[in-house]
Structure 1
Amino acid sequence: MSELSKTFILTIACPDTFGIVANVTSFLADEGAFVTKLEQFGDPESKRFFMRVKFEAGRALRTEAEFAEKFGPIGERFSMEWKLHDYFRKPRVILMVSKFGHCLNDILHRVASNNLRIDIPAVVSNHEDMRGIVEWNGIPYYHLPVNNENKQAQEAKLLELVSEHKADLVGLARYMQVLSTDLCRALEGRCINIHHSFLPSFKGAKPYHQAHKRGVKLIGGTAHYVTADLDEGPIIHQAVERVDHTMTAEDMVEIGRDIESVVFSRAIQMHCEHRVFRNGSKTVIFRR
């Protein structure tokens, strides 16, 4: 972007202290910006402060570089991790899928219906099953089969695709492969997984069967950031559905597909609207 003539989101994370809000809002007012929404949270445990500001840019801030130059001293004063986001720019999300297409299909429908403002430059899969629906939507499909011998090479190809397509985020839409530690680190903070259980319960494989064996009364889905620790990344969104003793494990799997689809799409949306802030092993989420 060159001209700050539209709507922008400013995100801030820093140590919690006195005067942050006053300095940020005074700066924007002095530069002719009109704040339309401001959300903030100070965590008393981590002593961290989080802020999301939506504003209409004023004429005094003509370029992104000028904004950075003028706002920089405030950022340094408060040790801020800050970023300016163009509200109208659609984030680019590469989706990864295996043989279960419900989360992928839900995302594709939401994008086609303009209910989810993202661009999908590519879909990557270790199987061919989803090629038809993806290419029908006009999206390139990359088949990268994975085994013990080629895993490192295929993950390198994935990172090349992320770079080539300038992807902001990778979404694991029931991609049934465990990512390597190196890949998790390379995608830290920009890779979201949907796990088919209410974490931290029932990690790993066949969580619905684990839940059925334990006779649970609630099953759920969890969207979380991917880390090197399997199914333990910071949680973004969760939902549950009530079940009972009459249901089989297969019944739970069927019910769970709807939960997974909604939870995954909402987590993608939250991230792409810059509402999610990492706070150690947890997240701070500013709601719509």
Structure 2
Amino acid sequence: MSHTYILTLSCQDRRGIVHGVTGFLLERAGNIEEAAQFNDTDTGLFFMRVRFSCPAAEPDELRQALAAFAEPFGMTWGLHPVAEPMRTVIFVSREGHCLNDLLFRWKSGLLPVDIRAIISNHRDFYQLAASYNVPFHHVAMTKTNKAQAEARQKEIIDAEGAELVVLARYMQILSDDLCRHLSGRAINIHHSFLPSFKGAKPYYQAHDRGVKLIGATAHYVTADLDEGPIIEQDVARADHTATVEDLTARGRDTESQVLARAVKWHSEHRVLLNGHRTVVFR
């Protein structure tokens, strides 16, 4: 029986990394199905993603062997069985277009995720969650209960074993503590082409500046508001006749598509962190 895995790695660039990785897999009768690599000449870092099949190889055995192999290279690495969809929790507030899009793509088999729960500070989408048979958790958020509310959110995330948290138009700022807890595994969709128009009401800011392009940005969540490493962006055209309402309506499709692509690439282990940037093997 053959198992399929995705190996991701990064380290300081040096000769022999690709040779070493392919030799390691060859010794275990591994068959490479897909491979991509990138050498960042600015930082001297090397990044690689390999999808491979390996007969009768168990994850724990491979991880143990990989740890020994990676040590001389100083590699940061991960091994991910393809057959295991990424356990995911979605946060949402009162704008449901991104949530609805993600749920539809998931149920259609277009996203390799397992949506385990939806968390919201409002009750608006409990029926939508029920229609997909996904547990819905209403966690009210006020100025006075933020710590308790986030403790409850963290409890749900940890209980579900979530590897990914998606902020699908969740209109609350996460605390520094929760950002650290979710470091590298929380994706936010910002309805603007960052770094322009950060913070609240970006469509109002865009309209005020008379932009001719509106955009959306999917990025990893950090304690610095709307400053996390960018995964994906896209734009839609606008003109002088567009109202704020027009920009908002036009932007919804862009937001949904950008977030879906970011979630897909992350859940396929195509996104590697490179400081405050990302390497995306599309």
TM range (shorter): over 0.9
User: Partner letter of residue 19 of structure 2?
Assistant: A
Instruction: Say which SS state the counterpart of residue 247 (structure 1) adopts.
Output: coil
1:116 offset after TM fit, Å?
Answer: 1.4
TM-score, with normalisation over the residues of structure 1? Answer: 0.96
Aligned: 1:22 with 2:12: no
1:108 aligned partner, one-letter code? L
Alpha-carbon distance in 2 for matches of 1:252, 1:176: 18
Contact 2:11 2:46 in 1 (8 A): yes
- Asked if 2 retains the 8 angstrom alpha-carbon contact of 1:193 and 1:226, the reply is yes
Q: Is 2:225 aligned against 1:230?
A: yes
Q: Tell me the equivalent position of 2:124.
A: 129
Selected match of 1:13 from 10, 13, 18:
10
Counterpart of 2:261 (choices 263, 266, 270) is 266
Equivalence for 1:245: 240
User: Deviating runs (4+, > 3 A) in structure 1?
Assistant: none
In the alignment, does 2:44 pair up with 1:47? yes
* Contact 1:32/1:57 (8 A) holds in 2: yes
Q: What is the CA–CA distance in structure 1 between the aligned matches of 2:172 and 2:40, rounded to whole Å?
A: 35
Gaps of 5+ in 2: none
Alignment partner of 1:99 out of 87, 94, 99 = 94
2:173 corresponds to 1:182: no
- Give the corresponding residue for 1:37: 34
Matches of 2:276 and 2:66, distance apart in 1: 29
Give per-residue Cα distances to partners, 1:94-125, cap 9 Å, x unaligned.
Answer: 00000000000000111111111211110000
Give the residue type in structure 2 aligned to 1:158: Q
Secondary structure in structure 2 of the residue aligned to 1:57:
strand
Whose strand fraction is larger, Structure 1's or Structure 2's? Answer: 2
Which shows bigger deviation, 115-124 or 253-262? 115-124
Deviation track 1:195-234 (CA, whole Å, cap 9, x = no partner) reads: 0000000001110110111011100000000000000000
- The one-letter code matched in structure 1 to 2:184 is G
Separation (CA, whole Å) in 2 of partners of 1:87 and 1:70: 19
Structure 1 Cα separation of the partners of residues 236 and 263 of structure 2:
21
Contact 1:34/1:58 (8 A) holds in 2: no
What aligned pairs does 1:144-183 form with structure 2 within 5 A after superposition? 144-183=139-178
Match in the other structure for 1:140: 135
The answer to whether 1:56 aligns with 2:50 is no
**Shift of residue 83, structure 1, vs aligned partner:** 1.1
> 1: CA distance between counterparts of 2:64 and 2:92?
42
For 2:61, the equivalent position in structure 1 comes to 66
Give 5+ residue unaligned stretches, structure 1.
Answer: none
In the aligned structure 2, how far is the partner of 1:71 from the partner of 1:193? 32
Q: What is the aligned-residue identity percentage?
A: 51
| Structure 1 pair 68–116 and aligned structure 2 pair: CA distance change class (3 A) | closer
In the alignment, the residues of structure 2 paired with residue 223 and residue 71 of structure 1 have an alpha-carbon distance, to the nearest angstrom, of 31
In the alignment, what sits opposite 1:199? 194
How far residue 132 of structure 1 moved from its aligned partner, in angstroms, is 0.9
The C-alpha deviation readout for 1:108-159, integer Å capped at 9, x for no partner, is: 1111111112111100000001111111111100000101111001101111
Answer yes or no: is the 8 Å Cα contact 2:59–2:81 preserved in 1: no
Please give the TM-score of this superposition, normalised by the length of structure 2. Answer: 0.98
Provide the aligned length of Structure 1 versus Structure 2: 282
The Cα of 1:16 is off from its aligned counterpart by 1.1
CA RMSD after TM alignment = 1.0
Partner of 1:281: 276
- 3-state secondary structure, aligned to 2:86: coil
